[in-house]
Amino acid sequence: MGILLFGAAKDIAGVPVLEKPAHISDVAALKAWLYEVYPSLQQLKSMMIAVNRAYATDEQTISQQDEVAVIPPVSGG
């Protein structure tokens, strides 16, 4: 599955979904890859990764079947 992008992260990437490179197997690696491809993401106050609709730690592994999303600082309410 692709990587879903929301809010400011979507604006920075310019697209709502990214293809996940096959070699990325955990959250830390995904973040590093995102920062490399879109350096502006480093300007976000925070960038969380959600795996299967739940906030994930850097150590969490990611498989091809997982629903992965990039969560910039939320601002609901």
| Residues 76, 43: Cα–Cα separation, whole Å | 20
- Does the protein bind another protein through residue 71 (CB under 8 A)? yes
Whole-angstrom distance, CA of residue 5 vs CA of residue 72: 9
Which x/- pattern over 38-67 shows residues binding another protein (rule: CB under 8 A)? ------------x--xxx------------
Using rule CB under 8 A, residue 1 touches another protein: no
Residue 38 has phi, psi (to 5 degrees) of -125, 80
Give me the residues that bind another protein (CB under 8 A), please: 4, 6-8, 50, 53-55, 69, 71-72, 74-77
